[in-house]
Amino acid sequence: MVAHAYDGLPDEACGLLGGRRRGDDGALAEVFVPCENADRSSRTFSLGPDAWEKADRDIEGRGLEILGVVHSHTHTEAYPSPTDIEQAGNPFLVGWRWVLVSLRQPEPVVRSYLIVGDDVREEHIGLVQG
């Protein structure tokens, strides 16, 4: 995810996370599918139809489900922007994780959030040995 964020510079980079839900609100992400940012913008991102269909099929083909969307903030913190919070109202994205990769500092920062209405809740993320 971080490499894809750097590759996307100067624009925001994006992609989808595939994996399995665990319990009530946990999830195990197993794959990140990098997508092209159709906006080609440093301020916004969107997945075009080709990127969506390819990622959707890739994740389904692995027997996984889409857990969330990943995107980079090139010059701001790893926190959902007002645009992100507004877009999280999308009924297709209910229960999705919003994973932010901030490249603002020399050291990249990755954080994950669940967004319900205006409520933004950060969740713990960690690496597990597979």
Partner 1 sequence: MSVTVRLPTIMRANAGGQSEISAEGSTIGEVIDDIVKQFPGTATHLRAPDGGVHRFVNVYLNDEDVRYLGKLETAVGDGDTVSIVPAVAGG
Rule CB under 8 A: which residues touch partner 1?
12, 14, 16, 39, 43-47, 49, 52-53, 56, 59-60, 65-66, 69, 71, 80-84, 87-93, 98
- Name the residue nearer to partner 1 (CB basis): 31 or 128: 31
Residue 85 is encoded by which pair of tokens?
């919070």
CB of 32 or CB of 106, closer to partner 1: 32
Sheet holding 14-22, edge to edge: 26-35, 14-22, 65-73, 97-102, 109-116, 119-123
Measured between alpha carbons, how far is 16 from 33 in angstroms, rounded to an integer? 5
Residue 124 tokens read as: 């713990």
Shortest Å, Cβ 129 to partner 1: 28
Question: What are residue 42's DSSP bridge partners?
Answer: none
Measured from the CB atom, is 25 or 65 closer to partner 1? 65
CB of 117 to partner 1, least distance (A): 15
